[in-house]
Amino acid sequence: MRFAVHAEWTKLRTVPSTGWLLLAVVALTIALSAIAASSASTGFCETPAECPADLPKLSLTGIWLGQAVVAVLASLAITNEYGTRMITATLAANPRRVPVLLIKAGVVTALVLGAGLVAAAGSLLAGSSILTGKGFTAGSGYPHLALAEEPTLRAAAGTVLYLGLVALLSIGIGAIVRDTAGAITTVLGLLYLFPLLATFITDPQWRKWLERISPSSGMNIQNTVGLGQLEVGPWAGLGILAGWAGAAMLLGALLFRFRDA
């Protein structure tokens, strides 16, 4: 087991793109979050009660971009081995296929969780600083943006878990299709296509159905206000994404186990 973990870690750390992609997850997430916070203004409402601002969600906006980089990173972790035929050497060294896939998924997800933790913390720090300067202060009636507050902590921790589940989804899809372009396109389609379709569908029942099966409903974990108006609650949304990730990993493991390398 330790040999397999070390082998997967070595393969990941010796690929130059891994470090750059992890850095991109952090940098792009924080950058977009800072831009979103900078675009906010208290001038549209006389009091916070008139249009309550979801400051934690606003400060974590960058995850919409960061998740795409995670999808690329995690997909490459499995599909690159098929592209270079390194998968043959991997399975020759460790013929137990399902454990190989699970170990790979564990190592990749651990790296993504680490990057996600830095990205979420950096986004909240940037958001807090920018929003305070723009008048979103406790003295003005807005909630204090701090991890000590339960809603903010839940949004931040849930965001990190969201990225980890995206990584698992991407690895599962990668094991299924065994092609880099196909895996990345499929994952990005699942993450972005559902919300896009929902904006064009006028029928409330169809929109509700889409939101209840969409992997991107996991982003509801960031909501801290207006929870009663959500079709899918914060933790339920994260559970939907977990279901997609679990199904992808299960099918990927079955195909990885019984299909030729």
Between CA 183 and CA 34, with CA 241 as vertex, the angle to 5 degrees is: 85
- pLDDT for the residue numbered 49: 61
Q: SS3 for 118? A: helix
What is the Cα–Cα distance from 249 to 261, expressed in whole angstroms? 17
- pLDDT for the residue numbered 212: 86
- Token pair 């470090």: residue: 19
- pLDDT for the residue numbered 108: 96
- pLDDT for the residue numbered 47: 63
The encoded tokens of residue 261 equal: 């390398």
The dihedrals phi and psi of 123, each to the nearest 5 degrees, come to -65, -45
Q: Is the Cα dihedral 88, 92, 98, 99 positive or negative?
A: negative
**Which candidate, 255, 87, 79, 82, places its Cα nearest to that of 181?**
79
Q: End-to-end alpha-carbon separation of the chain, Å?
A: 21
Q: Mean pLDDT for each 10-residue chunk of the chain (261 residues)?
A: 75 84 97 93 65 84 97 95 82 83 95 97 93 77 76 94 98 95 96 86 81 92 87 93 97 89 60
- Which pTM value belongs to this model? 0.93
Whether 201 contacts 210, CB under 8 Å = yes
- pLDDT for the residue numbered 23: 97
Q: Is the Cα dihedral 10, 14, 15, 19 positive or negative?
A: positive
